[in-house]
Amino acid sequence: MKGPKRPIDAVATWVRRQPPKVKAFLSVISAVAALVFLWLVVEDHDNLFVAAEAVHALGISVLIYKLTKEKTCAGLSLKSQILTALFLAVRLYCSFVMEYDIHTILDLATLATTMWVIYMIRFSLKSSYMDDKDNLAIYYVVIPCALLSIVVHPSTPHHIFNRICWAFCVYVEAVSVLPQLRVMQNAKIVEPFTAHYVFALGIARFLSCAHWVLQVLHTRGRLLTALGYGLWPSMVLISEIIQTFILADFCYYYVKSILGGQLVLRLPSGVV
């Protein structure tokens, strides 16, 4: 005889049975509630960006542990790491020629770590790389981002090439996790360290998005005006929101799995 169903399982079952429109509505309501909570709790909204960087660093630490201690890169997308290195390299270039600040140093450290991860996947742990699962072509991501950056980019006084590069790295960052999601979609089963890493990315991107949204609200839109005119300010905000919602579905099943005491995350069909 089965015991009573736990509240988390009952809620998960109810949500899973809802049509896509209802799920989207619930996601928006949850995001708004989280933003209101952060607005009330966090006094200095810049701390959200610091928190996002800290969570991202924690995720990278988990990835390093997986590669060095577990001696396997199974479940990781090499293409997502290449896209990450690409947008970081372009953003570093933009930082050096447009505005140099503490973010430049953070990006440099992240790029160095990402290059090391790429090396480990390509050479040291090549035998465990799931090449057949990592089948999302990079040009499906890079080419649309490049074309969009030519059309919509900042209107600052900088050289046109630098402005296009700035827009390009923003767009690539927003969708760089797509190959990783494709790997998990193909595998259906996500081992713990990969799940922890991707969940950390999701939390970091939500905090970064919250930082942007709350800063816009706090300045009553002046932040968007400072970014320039035309479509660019809106595209920056939309990019932040997109990269958050791309990982929302995975984060939901991750939390459900952890609360259910499952070490290995099993994704239903259609997730991510």
d(CA 140, CA 122): 21
CA distances from 244 to 165, 199, 249 (A): 22, 11, 10
Q: What is the 3-state secondary structure (H, E, C) of the chain?
A: CCCCCCHHHHHHHHHHCCCHHHHHHHHHHHHHHHHHHHHHHCCCCHHHHHHHHHHHHHHHHHHHHHHHHCCCCCCCCHHHHHHHHHHHHHHHHHHHHCCCCHHHHHHHHHHHHHHHHHHHHHHHCHHHCCCCCCCCCCHHHHHHHHHHHHHCCCCCCCCHHHHHHHHHHHHHHHHCCHHHHHHHHHHCEECHHHHHHHHHHHHHHHHHHHHHHHHHHHCCCHHHHHCCCCCHHHHHHHHHHHHHHCCHHHHHHHHHHHHCCCCCEECCCCCC
pTM of the predicted protein model: 0.82
pLDDT (tens place) for every residue of the chain, 272 residues total? 455 556 656 666 666 666 766 666 666 677 677 767 776 677 776 778 778 888 888 888 888 988 998 899 999 999 999 999 999 999 999 888 877 666 778 788 889 999 999 999 999 999 999 999 999 999 999 999 999 999 999 887 888 999 999 999 999 999 999 999 999 888 887 888 888 898 898 888 888 888 878 877 777 766 666 666 678 888 888 888 888 888 887 887 787 777 666 666 766 655 55
Distance of CA 194 to the CA centre of its chain: 14
Q: Given phi > 0 = left and psi -120 to 50 = alpha, else beta, which region is 238?
A: alpha
- For residues 119 and 141, the answer to whether their CB atoms sit within 8 Å is no
